[in-house]
Structure 1
Amino acid sequence: MSLRDQEDFLSNIHPFEVLNQNQINDCIKHMDIAYYPKDSTLICPSKISNHFFIIIKGSVYEYSDDEVVMDYHQEDSFDANSLIYNETKHTFKVHEDLICYELEKKTFLKLIEENQKFKDFFLKNLVNKIQTLKDKEYTSELSSFMIAKVEDTIIHEACIVDENTKLIDAIEKSMNFKTSTIIVKKEDETYGIITDSLLKVKVLLEKRTLDIPVSDIAVFPLMTICNDDYLFEALTVLIKRNIKRIGVTNNEGKMIGVLEQIDVLSHFANNTYVVDTKIKKAKTIEELKNSSNDLINIIKSLQAKGVKVNHISNLIGQLNTKVYQKLYNLVVPTELKKDACLIVMGSEGRNEQIIKTDQDNALVIKDGVDVNLYRPYMEKLTAHLIDFGYPPCEGNIMVSNPFWCKTVSEYKEETKRWIDAPDMQNYMDLAIFFDSFAVAGDKQLLINLKDDLFDKLHDKDVFMAYFAKATLAFDTPSTVANFMTKVHYIDIKKTAVFPIVQGIRSLALREKIRETTTVKRIKILEQRKVLEKEKAAELLEAFDVVNTLRLKSQLVKILENKEINNEIDTHNLGKIERDLLKDSFKIVIDFKKFIAYSFKTDKIS
């Protein structure tokens, strides 16, 4: 292999591309090609190597005792830790005849000292490594969508008056500020808002004088966002709340300005707002269907621009909720709406279903109301959702199924049965129901049911152990080799997504956390010291990686007109994606052990 070939090879190995030309030349000067036959031991606790290995061809397995914890293939490198710390607890053994580069230890350690980026990669924890790899993988896709902060766009100076200010004086001040928005500040440092439309309704139509204090008509509280938050989060709030402006505060909570919807939309220049407006204005089922069909284009656009999966799912979840609300209002007679609550469950309830893969929904009806009055409309609702592109649930968890359309008392009896007569189906029904989120109707009905569920689970340690044990239901590969070389596809939901979701769901249920999204549950569990800060950070990164890989795979299937599922084609994974998946599997396996220990699952059969 020529020097040019060696240089080209090294430049594709992360993090060697951060080295300058002199450092690359130094690498090549102190690097040799070596061959090792199958079963050769390269590194072990009693044999620390004097080289850093970069694989050209073949494979190496890393063992902890007799368990394979990692596998290394073409363009993979190892083992920095044993060189840096001069010790290891693991054994590295050749699995397939190995041809590799050997970089001298002295040169490797010299590079660590000379190049900070090179050093950071090898000395960072797993979370930072994953973030570094993700940055490298998606740098070409980054755009203002992903990295823009609220402070990066136009923030209008706020016209702020105290709550006792006369309305006429506040209007005069707003004219000096050249704004139609008046921010009202209370003594307790909370803020409200007065807009032109509010003046028309509360003053002109009600024939009030302009001498009234602004607090008489201001709307409290004003929705706010921090200037250091991502601009995309502001867009999500504007869409969710159906508002045209939002207050901007600094990290101390002080009001510093107003962010207008029009400025956010012009920054992103996408059709999210158009779709949201179409949904709101839809007057017929057909108009609503056409609006919902536009969601896939939004998903494709956001994913292509590097927006994190969590942000995409949050935004799409808000739009899906609006579709459900509008459909419910179009289908269900007015006199029936107030006595029921339409809920979404499972991945929809967690706001984590981006592509329409199935339906998980139900109806909760007030006690004393005839359930049969709702049945025909629920059948219509399901039929319309299927027509909109929301596939029917294979388990028939839909409002058209009488099992998922009943009164509060009947649901209470059902949750009691799930807990008292546990089996796998009951565990999963309870899990799906626990993730429920109210989208239309009387939300207090669902709150009542959640309160009742938490009360029933008090001191139910054995039940919780069985419930948590479902986290361990599917195997997570300890190596990537077995599916990279033997099995073409892997179900990323079973191997990685579900264990995180179910494990976090189990902890949230035990802690009586009402939040439904996995990401927010993780953050709350960290705040409550149930999860250590590092473990929470690892789970958030791994969850983002595996969901990103799943979404990319699903979008490819849509493009190729193939069936949408949770399988990813491992042969199409790039080098960095494979590294990200490896590290994510590590985190998932470790989390499973944490759940098993936390719920003492080894004590149950």
Structure 2
Amino acid sequence: MSIQDQQAFLSNIHPFQVLTSQQMEICIKHMDIAYYPKDSVLINPEKIPNYFFIIIKGTVYEYSVENIVVMDYHHQDSFDSNSLIYGKCANTFKVYEDLICYELEKNTFLKLIEENQQFKDYFLKDLVNRIQTLKHKEYTSELSSFMIAKVEDTLIHDACIIDENTKLIDAIQQSMEYKTSSIIVKKRNGEYGIITDSLLKIKVLLEGRDLTIPVKDIAIFPLLTVHNDDYLFEALTILIKKNIKRIGVTNSKGEMIGILEQIDVLSHFANHTYVVDSKIKKAKNIEDLKSASKDLLNIIKSLHAKGVKVNHISNLIGQLNTKVYQKLYSLVLPQELRKDACFIVMGSEGRNEQIIKTDQDNALLVKDNVDVEQYRPYMLEITTHLIDFGYPPCEGNIMVSNPFWCKTVSEYKRETARWIEAPDMQNYMDLAIFFDSFAVAGDKELLINLKDDLFNKLHDKDVFMAYFAKATLTFDTPNTVTNIMTKSHNIDIKKAAVFPIVQGIRSLALKEKIRETTTVKRIKILEDRKILEKSKAAELLEAFDVVNTLRLKSQLEDIQDGKKINNEIDTHTLGKIERDLLKDSFKIINEFKKFITFTFRIDKIS
């Protein structure tokens, strides 16, 4: 192989492409090609190598002390930096398929680490930073303003801030000098409020108020705000969720520094989101709403193609889906029935984690002493419309059209008691799905009351919680990608990776009586409560993002190819970096399973 070929080969391997030309020359000069037959032991506790290995062809397995395969290495993979840096190795590296590789001299490798900080960071950073580095490398070509833009990167209008006791006429005069249509009102306690042109029309002109009143009499408190260092996409999600046209911007000290206008966010992103949001709001009939809901897939495709993180996409799509449900509820149910019930979504929809429409998980809570039967025809109609909108029916019939999921609060309380007192796998899963419920329409206090009752019932139920948490271990998570690739090209990423994180975190959240439903926010709350160490929480967040990104990518490819959507990913289509990301994520998930086993003492139950 020529020097040019060697350089081309190394330039495709992270992090060798960060080396300077001179460093690359040194690297190649001190690197030879070697061959090892199957079953050759390259590294073990008694055999620390003098080389850093880079595979050209073949496969190497890394075995733990218990002789379990913990990692596999093949074309373009490299190992073992830790042995060279720390001079020791607890595991054994053994050739599984005849190996042809480059061997980079130890002293040269260590010298490159000292001379090049980026090269050094890759090998010495923790697993979270390694994943973030790989993700940055994988998606750099896709990064856009969607992915990296901060609030401070777009136009922030100067804020006209006035004291709460200022006369309205003086405040209007000051806003004209600022050339703004918004007046920011500041209370003495530091809280901010807002007066807009539309508020002036309603509260002053139509009500005939005098212009000498203090601004605090008509201002709306509190003014929603974002931090200037927040991602702009997060501001967009708030604007969508709250149906507002502007939001305040604060600095690190909590001081108001300006106003972010909806129109400016729109011009920055120039996407279809607000059009869909507007269509949902203005829908006057079922057909209008159906047309609006059909546009959600185009938004998902656009955001994914532009490198938006899965968590941001799910938040945004979740808000739009919620609005579809709310509008449908108001279009189908007579007004007199709406106030006595609560329409909820559950499972992945309740967690705000269903991006592609894969199924429905919804239910209706009805006030006690209200006739449930009068709701049933309308619930059947809602299910029918949702199917027509493209929300597939739930295979387990967990839908509001099923009488089991449409009953009074007292009936649900008896049901949750049965789930806990006579548990079986179906009851565990029903409880898990219900615990993730989120109120989207109607009287939300009904769900709050029901969850309070559930938390009370679970007090001191350690054995039940152990069995509930045991579901985290239901599906195997491979130690390496090769473990699956040798059997099949496909991995069910939901079973192998998504579900263990979701169920494990859900179990911890139920134990801690956490009301938040989204997995990401639950992880952050558990970190705040010291249930999860900061490093473990960070690892789980990164792994959750990786596996969901791969899942979404595969599902979008299924749609494009006209295939039925599923949760399988074809490992043979993964690039090297994606495969590395998946390997690291599997490692994090398997460690998390051990943590759940220890925390709930699962090994003590049958």
Corresponding residue number in structure 1 for 2:116: 115
Separation in 2, partners of 1:32, 1:175: 74
AA matched with 1:185: K
**Cα shift at 1:504:** 0.4
1:299 aligns with 2:323: no
Q: Deviations over 1:469-495 (max 9, x none)?
A: 000000000011122343111100000
Corresponding residue number in structure 2 for 1:206: 207
Separation in 1, partners of 2:602, 2:382: 41
Separation in 2, partners of 1:187, 1:506: 43
Q: Moved runs in structure 1, 4+ residues, more than 4 A?
A: none
Corresponding residue number in structure 2 for 1:325: 326
Corresponding residue number in structure 2 for 1:83: 84
1:18 aligns with 2:18: yes
Deviates more, 1:156-165 or 1:238-247: 156-165
Corresponding residue number in structure 1 for 2:420: 419
AA matched with 2:24: I
Query: Secondary structure at 2:185's aligned position in 1?
Result: strand
Corresponding residue number in structure 1 for 2:599: 598
Corresponding residue number in structure 1 for 2:243: 242
1:31 aligns with 2:28: no
Matches for 1:372-387 after TM superposition, within 5 Å: 372-387=373-388
Query: Secondary structure at 1:374's aligned position in 2?
Result: helix
Q: Deviations over 1:47-81 (max 9, x none)?
A: 10000000111101111111111000111000000
Matches for 1:243-392 after TM superposition, within 5 Å: 243-392=244-393
Corresponding residue number in structure 1 for 2:69: 68
Separation in 1, partners of 2:434, 2:599: 23
1:466 aligns with 2:467: yes
Q: CA RMSD in A?
A: 0.6
Corresponding residue number in structure 2 for 1:219: 220
Separation in 2, partners of 1:55, 1:197: 67
AA matched with 1:446: L
Corresponding residue number in structure 1 for 2:56: 56
Query: Secondary structure at 2:180's aligned position in 1?
Result: coil
Corresponding residue number in structure 2 for 1:560: 561
**Cα shift at 1:187:** 1.3
Paired residue total: 605
**Cα shift at 1:102:** 0.5
Identity of aligned residues (%): 81
Corresponding residue number in structure 1 for 2:6: 6
Corresponding residue number in structure 2 for 1:131: 132
Corresponding residue number in structure 1 for 2:529: 528
AA matched with 1:62: E
Q: Is the 8 A contact 2:45 2:91 kept in 1?
A: yes
Q: Is the 8 A contact 2:481 2:571 kept in 1?
A: no
Question: Gaps spanning 5+ residues in structure 2: where?
Answer: none
Query: Secondary structure at 1:438's aligned position in 2?
Result: strand
AA matched with 2:2: S
**Cα shift at 1:88:** 0.9
1:509 aligns with 2:514: no
Q: Deviations over 1:517-541 (max 9, x none)?
A: 0000000000000000000000000
With normalisation by structure 2, the TM-score equals 0.99
Corresponding residue number in structure 2 for 1:192: 193
Separation in 1, partners of 2:316, 2:442: 21
**Cα shift at 1:26:** 1.0
Separation in 1, partners of 2:180, 2:11: 54
Query: Secondary structure at 1:238's aligned position in 2?
Result: helix
Separation in 2, partners of 1:38, 1:281: 67
Separation in 1, partners of 2:547, 2:531: 23
Q: Deviations over 1:366-393 (max 9, x none)?
A: 0010000000000000000000000000
Corresponding residue number in structure 1 for 2:585: 584
**Cα shift at 1:351:** 0.3
Query: Secondary structure at 2:400's aligned position in 1?
Result: coil
AA matched with 1:12: N
Question: Gaps spanning 5+ residues in structure 1: where?
Answer: none
AA matched with 1:68: V
Separation in 1, partners of 2:113, 2:167: 66
Query: Secondary structure at 2:58's aligned position in 1?
Result: strand
Separation in 1, partners of 2:115, 2:181: 57
Q: Deviations over 1:347-366 (max 9, x none)?
A: 00000000000000000000
Matches for 1:223-234 after TM superposition, within 5 Å: 223-234=224-235
Separation in 2, partners of 1:75, 1:345: 43
AA matched with 2:364: L
Query: Secondary structure at 2:210's aligned position in 1?
Result: coil
Separation in 1, partners of 2:20, 2:214: 66
Query: Secondary structure at 2:460's aligned position in 1?
Result: coil
**Cα shift at 1:5:** 1.1
**Cα shift at 1:20:** 1.1
Q: Deviations over 1:444-487 (max 9, x none)?
A: 00000011111111111001000000000000000111223431
Separation in 2, partners of 1:43, 1:528: 42
Separation in 2, partners of 1:161, 1:295: 41
Separation in 1, partners of 2:35, 2:410: 71
Query: Secondary structure at 2:503's aligned position in 1?
Result: helix
AA matched with 1:18: V
With normalisation by structure 1, the TM-score equals 1.00
Separation in 2, partners of 1:124, 1:366: 55
Corresponding residue number in structure 2 for 1:93: 94
AA matched with 1:6: Q
Q: Is the 8 A contact 2:276 2:292 kept in 1?
A: yes
Separation in 2, partners of 1:403, 1:30: 70
Separation in 2, partners of 1:351, 1:29: 53
Query: Secondary structure at 2:328's aligned position in 1?
Result: helix
**Cα shift at 1:188:** 1.1
Separation in 2, partners of 1:190, 1:88: 57
